[in-house]
Amino acid sequence: MQLGIHYAVFSGADQAEIVDRLVGTARAADQGGAAWFTVMDHWFQMEPLGGPAEPMLEGYTTLGHVAALTERVRLGLLVTGVTYRHPGLLAKTVTTLDVLSRGRAMLGIGAAWYEREHVGLGVPYPPLKERFERLEETLQVARAMWSDDDTPYSGTHYSLAEPVSRPTNVSTPHPPVLIGGSGERKTLRMVAQYADACNLFGSDPEAIAHKLEVLSQHCRTFDRDPATITRTVMVQADPVADPDAFVAQMEPLAALGVDMVCLVPPAEDPVGWTTRLCADVLPRLESL
């Protein structure tokens, strides 16, 4: 089982400390052997973490900065809301990150949910059904942009006369695509059809097993091997406080075929926590 570090709290006494904590955590993840370093794609901090009064950095600018200061860890947003950027621009942005990081970018994407930040900054927030329609078209546009075929794309919501992206991506055949969420009818179907990875929530083996079975059913529809999809879970836990209990909690998930656990460093000491996590817990996860 691999480890992903998801940096979600952009706190600090001042702006310099915000940057130092972010960079220090990314470097600790990179040097410690974590497979992924991700940040949120929001304009406002989520309300459970303090809401708009708390700091939040724009996601792809943040990853571009981190890319220059790391060497191995894969970089992405967990996850981009489909409403945040036009799909042609989004694919171009991810390609740019992939080129600048020398092949370490991925596209994490979902249907978006945080209406307050859309209203707050004057960005349209379509109904859920339309957001899922736009999500599927965005996945199709990304495929077109990352191919050698410059045929115009025409969908219900988006039309691209020239889906061209130069330079081309470094990752082959393209930056990995992760779709966030666990909706059984639409989200997991899109994972089976378009994505390289999924991201589920929680550590309950029975619930995770059910979602993975639903995913497998969708894979059969598209004649796809479920093993070609990287299965990740976002878990709220503190492995550093009790490594034995955490590893025991992860064992049944590893047995189900979960490839990676994503964890959020605490706001108090994200750098030290990530350093200890990689040193003391990651080797045990890798053995599962």
pLDDT per position as a tens digit, 231-241: 999 999 999 99
pLDDT score recorded for residue 140 = 97
Q: Any alpha helices (H) in the chain, and if so which ranges? A: 15-32, 59-67, 87-100, 115-121, 128-145, 187-194, 205-221, 243-255, 270-276, 282-286
**Quick one: CA torsion of 119, 122, 124, 128, rounded to 10 degrees?**
-20
Q: How confident is the model at residue 12 (pLDDT cuts 50, 70, 90)?
A: confident
Q: Collapsing DSSP states into helix, strand and coil, what is residue 74?
A: strand
Q: How confident is the model at residue 195 (pLDDT cuts 50, 70, 90)?
A: very high
Identify residue 219 by its one-letter amino acid code: C
What integer is the mean pLDDT of 93-115? 98
pLDDT per position as a tens digit, 22-49: 999 999 999 999 999 999 999 999 999 9
**Quick one: CA torsion of 149, 150, 154, 160, rounded to 10 degrees?**
140
Question: Which residue in 83, 138, 90 sits closest to 112, CA to CA?
Answer: 83
What the chain holds in terms of domains, given with CATH numbers, is 2-286 (3.20.20.30)
pLDDT of 11 > 90? The answer is: no
**pTM beyond 0.85:** yes
Compute the distance between CA of residue 206 and CA of residue 183 in angstroms, rounded to an integer: 16
pLDDT per position as a tens digit, 118-171: 999 999 999 999 999 999 999 999 999 999 999 999 999 999 999 999 999 999
Q: Bridge partners of 231?
A: 198
